Amino acid sequence: MKNSLEICILAAGKGTRMKTATPKILQPLAGTPMLAHVVSTARTLNPTKIHLVVSPDHEALKSAIEDNGDLNWVVQSEQLGTGHAVQQAAPDMDPDASILILLADVPLLRQETLQPLLESPADVAVLTVDLVDPTGYGRIQRNDENQVLRIVEEKDADAETRAISEINTGIFKIGEGQLPGLLSRLSNDNQQQEYYLTDIVELAGSDGLHIATVKTLSAAEVSGVNDLVQLASAERAFQRRQAEELMKAGVRILDPNRVDIRGSVTFGQDVVIDVNVVIEGPCAFGNGVVIESGVVIQSSRVGDSSRIKAQSNLEGAQLGEHCQVGPFARLRPGTALADGVAIGNFVEVKQTTMGSGSKASHLSYLGDAAIGERVNVGAGTITCNYDGVNKWQTVLEDEVFVGSNTALVAPVTVGAGATIGAGSTITGSIAPAALGVARGRQRNIDDWPRPEKASDAPGLVKKSAPKQTGV
Ligand code: UD1
Ligand code: CA
C-alpha cells in the first residue's frame, strides 16, 4: 500500500537509572503504565502496524498492555542500543512504509505534536526542542548554514556541543523506503559501545538525503523519563494537562495543582472537586456531584447530586443520587447505596446494600448487611459479622430503627418497622413491628459512698473500706 505508516516503539531498555524492581516503562503515569500511554497515542495515528521492541523478560508487559492483535512484539535479546532495537524490528517492516519511531519512556507526547513530523516530506525528520537544561539528551549539531549534521549523545559530546540547547527528543519519522539502508550501516564506535539510532542522521546527510527538524515548544511533553525524579515531573505535567481538559469540559476544580486523577474517570456536568482529592479509575461521577477536600475514591460510581464530604475514603462503592457521605466515612468494596442514603462520620460500610432514604449517621460498622429503605442505624451500631471463621449476614428490613450502641450478632434478621432498644446485643431475630431490647436492667443503689483518696497510700480506696496495712 502506498504511503503506509508503521510505528516502532522502543521499549526494551534496561531502565537502570530508575533503580526499581518494576521495569521502567511499566512505571505508572496517572495510574497507567508509561508504555500504555505511548501505545494509545500510536493507535490514534491509525498505522498499518505497531512494532513493540521489548526485552526477553517481557511477560509483565504482555499482561500490562492490552493487545488488540495490532501489536507486533519484537524481542531484542540484548540491549545494544536504540539503533540495534530498531534493527530487530526492521525485518517485519514493509520496506516501502514510512516509519515513526516512538520511545516508551516519552509518555506525554500527544498526537497533535506528532502531526507536523508526520507531514514532513523529509527523508529523515527529527522532533527537537530547546531546553534550558539539556543535560542527558542528545544534542542537535548544525553547520554554519544551520543544516543538521548529526546528533551527539551527551556522553560523546565535548563542552561546546554540550552547550547546545536544541536536543533530540528521540522521536523520528523516516520517509518511505529509507530506513533499511540507514540501519544497516550503524556502528557502536562510541562511549557507550551501543548502536545509536541517532547516527542515522549523519548517515542520511552523507547520502545527500533531506533531513528536517520539527521543533516543538512543549518541553514537558517530550521529556524522557529515566529516573523517579523525571517520573514525578511527568506525573505533575500530565495531571495539570488533564485537569485543564476537565475544567474546559465543565468540571470545577478548585486547585488544579492539588487533584490527582488516575486511570479512566468520567464526570457529569457541574461536578465540583475541592483540594487534595485523589481519584483512581475506573470511576464515574454523575451531574452535580461535590467532592470535598481530602477525599480518596477508587473504582466507584457516584450518582447525580451526591456529596462526598471531607476526608472520606471510597473503594468499590456504588452510590445512587442525592447521597451524603462523610466527613471521615469509609465505604469499602461491595457497598451499594440507593438514592438519598446518608452515611455520617466514622462509619465503615462493607459488602452492604442500603435502601433509599436509610441513614447511618455516626460511628458504626456495617458489614455483610442487607438494609432496607428508610432504616435508621443509631450511633455506635456494629454488625458482628465474623465469628472468627465465617462471615454472616445481617438483614434490617424497611423502616427498622436501631437504637444507639447496638451489637447485631449475625446471622440475624430484624423485621420491617421493628425497633431495637439502645445498648442491645441482638443475637436473635426480631419480628416486624416488635421492640427488641437485650441489655442488663438498670439498678440504682441509694446513698452510694464515692471512693476517696487514702491519706497514707497512693491510689483510691472506698471510704468504708478498712485501711490497708503493710503491702
Ligand atoms: C535517547 C537518545 C537521545 C535522546 C533521548 C530522548 C539514543 C542513542 N539516544 O537517549 O539522543 O535525547 O533518548 O529521551 O537514541 N531502548 C531499547 N533497546 C535498547 C536501548 C534502549 O529498546 O537497547 C529503548 C528504551 O526502553 C527507551 C528508549 O529506547 O524507551 C530510549 O532509550 P534510553 O536508554 O532511555 O535512551 P536515552 O539515554 O534517554
Ligand atoms: Ca530515555
Pocket test for ligand 1, best of 82, 135, 183 (most atoms within 8 A of CB): 82
> What is the distance between the alpha carbons of residues 99 and 62, in angstroms, rounded to a whole number?
23
The answer to whether residue 362 is catalytic is: yes
Pocket flag, ligand 1, residue 226 (CB < 6 Å): yes
Pocket flag, ligand 1, residue 76 (CB < 6 Å): yes
DSSP run (H or E) holding 201: helix 200-206
**What is the residue type of 238?**
F
The ligand that comes nearest to the alpha carbon of residue 54 is: 1
Q: What is the DSSP code string of 114-177?
A: HHHHHH--SSEEEEEEE-SS-TTSPEEEE-TT--EEEEE-GGG--HHHHT--EEEEEEEEE-TT
**What is the residue type of 21?**
A
Pocket flag, ligand 1, residue 23 (CB < 6 Å): no
Q: What are the sequence ranges of the domains in the chain?
A: 5-222, 254-357
Q: Could you tell me if 118 and 7 are in contact, meaning their C-beta atoms sit under 8 angstroms apart?
A: no
> Residue 389, SS3?
coil
Could you give phi then psi for residue 133, rounded to 5 degrees? -120, 95
Pocket flag, ligand 1, residue 134 (CB < 6 Å): no
Pocket flag, ligand 1, residue 126 (CB < 6 Å): no
Q: Could you tell me if 172 and 125 are in contact, meaning their C-beta atoms sit under 8 angstroms apart?
A: yes
> What is the distance between the alpha carbons of residues 85 and 110, in angstroms, rounded to a whole number?
23
Q: Whose CA is nearest to atom 11 of ligand 1?
A: 138
**CATH, domain range 254-357:** 2.160.10.10
**What is the residue type of 168?**
N
Q: From first to last of the 471 residues of the chain, give the pLDDT tens digit.
A: 456 999 999 999 889 999 999 999 999 999 999 999 999 999 999 999 999 999 998 888 999 999 999 999 999 999 999 999 999 999 999 989 999 999 999 999 999 999 999 999 999 999 999 999 999 999 999 999 999 999 999 999 999 999 999 999 999 999 999 999 999 999 999 999 999 999 999 999 999 999 999 999 999 999 999 999 999 999 999 999 999 999 999 999 999 999 999 999 999 999 999 999 999 999 999 999 999 999 999 999 999 999 999 999 999 999 999 999 999 999 999 999 999 999 999 999 999 999 999 999 999 999 999 999 999 999 999 999 999 999 999 999 999 999 999 999 999 999 999 999 999 999 999 999 999 999 999 999 999 999 998 877 666 555 555 454 544
In this chain, the answer to whether the domains covering 5-222 and 254-357 adopt an identical fold is: no
Pocket flag, ligand 1, residue 168 (CB < 6 Å): yes
**What is the residue type of 101?**
I
> What is the distance between the alpha carbons of residues 65 and 134, in angstroms, rounded to a whole number?
31
Q: Whose CA is nearest to atom 2 of ligand 1?
A: 170
DSSP run (H or E) holding 238: helix 228-248
The ligand that comes nearest to the alpha carbon of residue 168 is: 1
Q: Could you tell me if 175 and 226 are in contact, meaning their C-beta atoms sit under 8 angstroms apart?
A: no
The ligand that comes nearest to the alpha carbon of residue 197 is: 1
Query: Which listed residue (37, 58, 322, 362) is catalytic?
Result: 362
> What is the distance between the alpha carbons of residues 306 and 317, in angstroms, rounded to a whole number?
13
**CATH, domain range 5-222:** 3.90.550.10
> What is the distance between the alpha carbons of residues 183 and 80, in angstroms, rounded to a whole number?
14
State the pTM of this model: 0.90
Q: Name every residue whose Cβ is closer than 8 Å to that of residue 445 and which is 6 or more positions away in sequence.
A: none
Which of 43, 52, 35 is closest to 5 using CA atoms?
A: 43
